[in-house]
Amino acid sequence: MENKKEFLKGLGAGSLITAIIVVIAAMGITVYAKQMFWRGPDPNTKITEIYNLLNMYSIVPFDRDEMLENMYRGFVDGVGDPYTQYLDSEALASFRARTEGTFVGIGVTITTEQDDPFVTISSTFHGAPADLAGLLPGDKIMAVDGVDVAGRAIEDVVGMVTGPEGTIVTITIYRDFENERFDVEIIRATVEVPTVFHEMHYTQNGSVGYIRLEGFDGVTAGQFEAALSELTADGMEGLILDLRNNPGGLLTSVIEITDRLLPEGIITYTVDSRGNREDFRSDAAFIDLPLVLLVNGRSASASEVLSGAVRDTGRGTIIGTQTFGKGVVQNLLYLSDGTAIKLTVQTYHTPNGENIHGTGIEPHVIVEMSEDLSRRIGRLMLEEDIQLQAALEIISQKMD
């Protein structure tokens, strides 16, 4: 189970207290973290005092290690940022496996929404256990194996849902458009993330390639390139890129894909807490075909990087509804005991300098679609998908 909403650069770091030197091989850089000191009352003294009182007087059994893990989690949650999270070793292993493109779970992506204590399924992988069990985008996970997950960090929920292959997990779902709460038993399985789907559509003005991206994982750029090659060999004359219900993923992945679509220039840039700016650019080579993007309210993060670049450069037409509005970047910072913190460290900006956090990107052409149909994108017949119909009509005009 797997949240692609994290918009990560894969940055590693070490202890928050001791001086560290972290080599980040994937980015080819070395980060030096200066020694940091706790300012204020010694927290260890208070924790020891509380532990001694509990040990002496509590009639309720407790697990000290579990309490410490909950304390770390709560301490990080105190930042008040839904994207800043403490990952224990189990959640960290699950997260890393998912970003590589394979994992053992039920086959969904999940996301968090402001002021909502429950995580929401943003998409299900075709043919994966959750899909076969009938779960839909927009379903909220209320409990896992009878344990209420209200207020839990998204990676905690992931850790609860994942487990050994072939074992059963019971997911309690709330489906708002049916006002129904129900339990689903799902058998965990190894899932290879199918993030790219493609097909050819034929209009009166030529052949239109259609590619749907369901996330931006480590495997996505390669899958995208394979889809492009096949569609090009079949005579593609225009391209529709479907980012609806795509919650985002890796910055490296979306940059690689966007580079194939845009001429030379800035794709996006990031700004950290000290005002340092880092530009991400495309080169001069690109697929010079008419381009249309499809987006909706669940197109977030990395999806909005691509959409913002297309909008600002005038490279294509965006169709659908307002995007989610996540304009911040998380890095993964490793601690010395094998756990980690996923920390919001930067804002990202479109080529024209806009940070879309909290606002999203407005399409050039707004086409509303019912919530029921929006949740079933990728499983709709063409006659049901009015947004795709609009995209085909507009790209056909571009090809005329």
CA neighbor of 119 nearest in space, from 156, 165, 167 = 156
Kindly give, in sequence order, each residue whose CB lies less than 8 Å from that of residue 143, ignoring residues fewer than 6 positions away: 149, 171, 172
Identified catalytic residue from 326, 342, 374, 396:
326
Active-site residue 312, yes or no? yes
**Residue type (1 letter), 40:** G
Active-site residue 301, yes or no? yes
Three-state secondary structure readout of the chain: CCCCCCCECCCCCCCCCCCEEEEECCCCEEEEECCCCCCCCCHHHHHHHHHHHHHHHCCCCCCHHHHHHHHHHHHHHCCCCCCCEEECHHHHHHHHHHHHCEEEECCEEEECCCCCCCEEEEEECCCCHHHHCCCCCCCEEEEECCEECCCCCHHHHHHHHCCCCCCEEEEEEEEHHHCEEEEEEEECEEEECCCEEEEEEEECCEEEEEEEECCECCCHHHHHHHHHHHHHHCCCCEEEEECCCCCCEEHHHHHHHHHHHCCCEEEEEEEECCCCEEEEEECCCCCCCCEEEEECCCCCCHHHHHHHHHHHHCCCEEEECCCCCCCEEEEEEECCCCCEEEEEEEEEECCCCCCCCCCCCCCCEECCCCHHHHHCCCCCCCCCCHHHHHHHHHHHHHHC
CA 72 to centroid of chain Cα atoms: 24
User: What is the rounded distance in angstroms from the CA atom of residue 235 to the CA atom of residue 256?
Assistant: 23
Identified catalytic residue from 301, 307, 374, 396:
301
CA atoms within 13 A on the CB side of 244: 32
Active-site residue 326, yes or no? yes
Which residue in this structure is represented by tokens 């970003």?
A: 99
Identified catalytic residue from 312, 342, 374, 385:
312
Which residue in this structure is represented by tokens 């959750």?
A: 130
Task: Give the residue numbers annotated as catalytic, written as ranges.
Answer: 301, 312, 326
